[in-house]
Amino acid sequence: MPLRDRLAAQIAQTGPLTIAQYMTACLHDPQDGYYATRPALGDSGDFITAPLVSQMFGELIGVWAISAWQAMGCPPTVRLVEMGPGDGTLMSDLLRAAKLSPAFLEAADIWLVETSAPLAARQQAKLGGAARWAQTLNEVPGGAPLLLVANELLDCLPVRQFVRTVTGWAEQVVGLGPDGALGFGLVPASAPLPDARDGVVLEQSAAQEALGSTLGERLVRDGGAALLIDYGHDRPGYGDTLQALRRHEKIDPLDCPGEADLTVHADFPSVRAAAEAAGARTALLTQSAFLARLGIGERAEALVRARPDKAPVIGRQLHRLIAGDQMGELFKACCLFSPDWIPPAFEDAE
């Protein structure tokens, strides 16, 4: 039975689904969930991420990781972890850049945290024996400083949506229409929410906050830093950011459950607050500022000198990564770190 029909049967039996429940089913249902069965990255897939735009992205993350390890005093072991590693391109490019520091590679205990079997298979084909795999961060051993990277992970974590109506707050849910089709509806909100004007949508992600808290606790205990790069807002606010992407086009999130990627904007203020409540420190930059501080302009120039025939392509890649009307401003680089140091590139960030 297709996922749409199974969800409809579940709703008919037990009632509407929260947006968070709907997202989780669409993305991770073992039989039909998008990431469980058919994740499609790249130009020929449903969406493209920064590591697939240009090798420069992963290489500069590698430069950042080396610099962070050195700033920590070159510990003999560091857990180099990527969460949500896509097809493995970012880690592959990171490790190629890390060859500049054999001592760093010797210290790095490399882990990839991945819940999607199809993507894990692609990562293993690309990285081979260079890494170990886990399904949760808790499976990655502690006892050593952490250097964690997660690119476009927060946007896949589920949210609940609340709508301010003339009679108060209501929660947006997925229910059934008169014709039996999936549809959005409202039910009374069960928890108190802040005052706001009528019509606004408030998104709350317990999963994003939980990740911030988990990382904060680990960083306080073991030391290190976590770099979270994603599209999202840098201050609290309102808005419906749920979207479905299929073949690089936005579609109705209810159209084809399990057959499209569902995402929301990262809630960086809540992630940072959760990490800080656990005792960690945090800082935030736009992706453009972060990559500029790591030298993306100089790296692009070096690539052009090596391959002048590729200059137009490299220029377009650079524009895509840092331009304000592309990924440069909407995407943010959020760093969570232990309280005894400040990671490279974030020394004066807030």
Strand partners, 132: 111
Predicted local confidence at residue 190, as pLDDT: 85
Task: Give the mean model confidence (pLDDT) for residues 104-109.
Answer: 98
Strands 281-286 vs 331-337: parallel, antiparallel or unpaired? antiparallel
Predicted local confidence at residue 46, as pLDDT: 72
- What are the pLDDT digits (tens) for 19-69? 999 999 999 999 999 999 888 777 777 788 999 999 999 999 999 999 999
Which one has a higher pLDDT value, 165 or 190?
165
* Residue 154: pLDDT over 80: yes
* Residue 289: pLDDT over 80: yes
CA distance 239 to 265: 10
Half-sphere exposure for 81 (CA within 13 Å, toward CB)? 29
Counting residues of the chain whose pLDDT is more than 70, the rounded percentage is 100
Please identify which residue in the block is written with the tokens 């999607």: 116
CA distance 349 to 290: 10
Please, what is the average pLDDT of the chain? 95
SS3 for the chain, per residue? CCHHHHHHHHHHHHCCEEHHHHHHHHHHCCCCCHHHHCCCECCCCCECCHHHHCHHHHHHHHHHHHHHHHHCCCCCCEEEEEECCCCCHHHHHHHHHHCCCHHHHHHEEEEEECCCHHHHHHHHHHHHHHCEEECCHHHCCCCCCEEEEEECCHHHCCCEEEEEECCEEEEEEEEECCCCCEEEEEEECCCCCCCCCCCCEEEECHHHHHHHHHHHHHHHHHCEEEEEEEEEECCCCCCCCCEEEECCEEECCCCCCCCCEEECCEEHHHHHHHHHHCCCEEEEEEHHHHHHHCCHHHHHHHHHHHCHHHHHHHHHHHHHHHCCCCCCCCEEEEEEECCCCCCCCCCCCC
CA distance 291 to 289: 6
Q: Is 347 exposed, middle or buried (0-12, 13-18, 19+ CB in 10 A)?
A: exposed
What are the domain boundaries of the chain? 1-44+155-207+234-264
> 258, 37 in Cβ contact below 8 A?
yes
CA-CA-CA-CA dihedral for 21, 25, 26, 31, to nearest 10 = 180
- What are the pLDDT digits (tens) for 133-147? 999 999 999 999 999
Strands 146-151 vs 224-233: parallel, antiparallel or unpaired? parallel
Predicted local confidence at residue 48, as pLDDT: 86
> 45, 204 in Cβ contact below 8 A?
no
- What are the pLDDT digits (tens) for 182-221? 999 999 998 889 888 999 999 999 999 999 999 999 999 9
- What are the pLDDT digits (tens) for 290-324? 999 999 999 999 999 999 999 999 999 999 999 99
CA distance 255 to 323: 32
CA distance 153 to 216: 17
CA distance 264 to 266: 6
* Residue 285: pLDDT over 80: yes
